[in-house]
Amino acid sequence: MTAIKQWFKDLWNGFVEWLVEVVILILTFLKDIVLTLFELLLDGVAYMFELISPPEFLATGLGSLFSALPDSLSYFLMQSGLAEGLSIYGAGVTFRLLRKLFTIGQW
């Protein structure tokens, strides 16, 4: 009699383990679907940004802007640390945007 009970117990435990694996499989599948849809959404956003053409004055870069300045003004700007200031400002803006991205805009 105990052998039959043990057999049913093993059968039931095997069924429960199989059921748990099926549930985990379904949840993993749903997670993959959500991630795939999110990837498609981000690809669509990236495509929309690629469709936007940059303004003409930005297409040539800042080099053309600074090359049009007189030499004395260019020298003054370089001595005052404009390049370092712009890089620090760019790093700050990048940090702020990344902070907003990772905290989902709560800051």
**What's the chain's average pLDDT?**
88
State the alpha helices, DSSP H only, in 52-81. Answer: 56-59, 62-67, 71-79
For the stretch 41-79, what's the b/e string if a residue is b when 16 or more beta carbons lie within 10 angstroms of its beta carbon? eeeeeeeeeeeeeeeeeeeeeeeeeeeeeeeeeeeeeee
Lowest-confidence region among 12-16, 19-23, 70-74: 70-74
**pLDDT, tens only, 42-78:** 899 889 988 888 777 666 777 777 788 888 988 898 8
Tokens representing 28? Answer: 């993993």
Q: What is the mean pLDDT of residues 21-31?
A: 96
Q: What is the pTM of this model?
A: 0.46
